[in-house]
Amino acid sequence: MERTAMTPGTIDRMLMALIATTLAASVVIAVVDPTYFHRVFAAEDHLVENATALFLLIAGLVLARNALSLRKRGQWRAMALTGLYAAMFVFAAGEEISWGQRIFGWQSGAFFTQNNYQGETNLHNLMIGDLRLAQAVFGGPLTVAILLYLVVFPLLYPRVRFIRALADRLAAPVPGMRHAGFAVLGSVIIGLLDVPRKWEVYELVFALMATSTFLLPQNPDKTRQP
């Protein structure tokens, strides 16, 4: 029997289902056993964090594949920009798991031991005086930027010519309305949960939506080979 490859649409539906499952499971676990939620489910080196790193990496690989497809079309600027975006997501995946430090058991150098909040080899937990970089840059400001990207960008892209032209020039994958809906729903659900480490789930939902967006954006003709 001939085997057929899954289409981007099929994979996208699977990702949407996984987002819905993640949010539902988070609510159930947080209500039924909040201790299990923060000590196991959303704890470091457990399911949620490892899944976040995995899907950030997958998102980066999807972008890398998109960059190669743009190269075949001779769209060099779009290829270079997409390659940069891919590198950023691969970097984020490495940061999420401290570049495998806890997995492989190697020790941080003197700089990170002295300046990192957790004594690990990553940038997002660096301390600048008494200020944690994660709070100053990777906390509120990044969350606002992500929500603007997921919720506002999909609405403006088809309606505002300047936004559409800028996004296409930057080869920026534009989320769809399904992403905007899940971003709002996820923000409400996570915001209402009263458990430690709930924002780890938020990061996983973003990683899943990023993978979906890069796979099947509003503007595929500008960001990858259709």
The secondary structure of 170-214, three-state, reads CCCCCCCHHHHHHHHHHHHHHHHCCCCCCHHHHHHHHHHHHHHHH
Q: What is the pTM of this model?
A: 0.90
3-state class (DSSP) for residue 127: strand
pLDDT at 113: 75
pLDDT by residue for the chain (226 residues), tens only, comes to 455 568 989 999 999 999 999 999 999 999 999 999 999 999 988 999 999 999 999 999 999 999 999 998 889 999 999 999 999 999 999 888 877 777 777 777 777 777 777 777 777 677 776 667 666 555 677 788 899 999 999 999 999 999 999 999 999 999 999 999 999 999 999 999 999 999 999 999 999 999 999 999 999 999 986 6
Rg (CA), the chain: 19
Please state, as a whole number, how many other Cβ atoms lie within 10 Å of the Cβ of residue 214: 25
pLDDT attached to residue 1: 47
